[in-house]
Amino acid sequence: MHYSVKQFIIIVYACFITQAASQQSNVITVAIFDFEQSGISELEVQTLTQRFTAELGNTAKAILFDRDVVKSQITSAGYTMSNCKDPECVLAAIGDTLGVQYIITGSIKKKNERYALQAVLTDVETGGEERIIKANYKGPVDGMVVELEIMAWDVMEQDPPESLIAKRKGKTKKKIRRPNVKTSLGALARASVVPGWGHYYLDQNARGLSFYSAELVTLSLGYLAYLDYKRAYDKVDIYWTKYKLETDEDLLQYYKGQTLEAEDLMIRKNSALTTMFRAAAAIHVVNMIDAYLIDITPEPLGKKTSLGLGYDPIINQPQLRLSIALD
């Protein structure tokens, strides 16, 4: 019975926080988990994770799930916060119970005076990594903390405040990746292999099907023209051979006429074959250009259409809510 009450509290909390996010444009719901550590203690990594969390809240682009609620769900799934820090474990533990849109995991590794920092933003619905921020830092500890706080802004694709940047110390090398971001070159490469593949890659399925079908039909007609050309060519070879070996005048005229007729058909089929393959080549090139020119501006995190839980205080029960950002 105690377990059911705890689960009910988690669901109600998820309903509340999901509804709050749906009412704010470009705001996402996020659950942050203690970063993995190496070279530092568990207490230190918890403190640093809290600093990162606090700075993420300062971006005003995320509604943060309460740590106790997250911990309760992790515990209910048979894990602990200390041994469930990678995205795979976290997603397995929370599933879609919390109604959270994204999770943030990461790591802080220290060796001598060097720190390797990483933060990963993962989409709960797809399980895909939306953003990976990596930073290699060398310098004093307080400078590392500043870099960690700046990473919170990087995760949300926001420019950190000048007051925070002014605190930087030491040397930092940073790398930001968006694994799930599709590129024009990626579309071009696929379109060059199979017409329409680049469009499917960019979720332009109708256009992709059009190019694929046009190419398939054109190549099929070209192949049929080739078969007709081959048959005509064989007839020319047969009648010409018979013509050279024949001595009867009437048969000579017959084989000559058959040879010329087959040769004329061969020329026409060769012309059709050339036309079809030129058309196929043109479709292929246009398909590549079109795939490359498709606008692939990344969609901001808060702009995504989402389906989640909401809590209606009037009827006093959870509801499914569809959130669509219009501005």
Q: Using CA atoms of 37, 41, 47, 51 in order, give the dihedral in degrees to the nearest 10.
A: -40
Tens place of pLDDT for every residue, the chain, 327 residues? 444 554 544 444 444 444 444 444 578 889 898 899 999 998 999 899 999 999 999 998 988 888 788 778 788 888 877 788 888 888 887 766 677 889 999 999 999 889 999 999 998 888 888 899 999 999 899 999 999 999 999 999 899 999 999 998 888 888 888 776 788 898 999 999 999 999 998 889 999 999 999 999 999 999 998 998 888 888 888 888 888 887 788 888 888 888 888 888 888 888 888 999 999 999 999 999 999 998 877 666 655 544 444 433 334 344 444 444 444
Q: Are residues 143 and 229 in the same domain?
A: no
Cα–chain center distance at 96: 20
Q: CA 156, 162, 163, 168 torsion: positive or negative?
A: positive
DSSP-derived secondary structure letter, 75: H
Full domain range(s) for residue 311: 2-181+303-323
Copy the structure tokens of residue 184.
């024009």
Q: Are residues 255 and 312 in the same domain?
A: no
Q: Are residues 163 and 34 in the same domain?
A: yes
Residue with tokens 């220290």: 110
Q: Are residues 177 and 193 in the same domain?
A: no
| Residue 291 CB coordination number (10 Å) | 28
Taking alpha carbons only, the member of 17, 37, 141 closest to residue 82 is: 37
Taking alpha carbons only, the member of 185, 206, 214 closest to residue 286 is: 214
Provide the domain count of the chain: 2
State how far the Cα of 302 lies from the Cα of 25, in Å rounded to an integer: 6
Q: Are residues 284 and 307 in the same domain?
A: no
Q: Are residues 252 and 159 in the same domain?
A: no
Which pTM value belongs to this model? 0.60
Q: Are residues 148 and 190 in the same domain?
A: no
Q: Are residues 177 and 206 in the same domain?
A: no
Q: Are residues 162 and 84 in the same domain?
A: yes
Q: Are residues 310 and 175 in the same domain?
A: yes
Copy the structure tokens of residue 110.
């220290």
Where does residue 3 rank: exposed (0-12), middle (13-18), buried (19+ CB within 10 A)? exposed
On whether residue 159 sits in a domain, the answer given is yes
On whether residue 264 sits in a domain, the answer given is yes
On whether residue 298 sits in a domain, the answer given is no
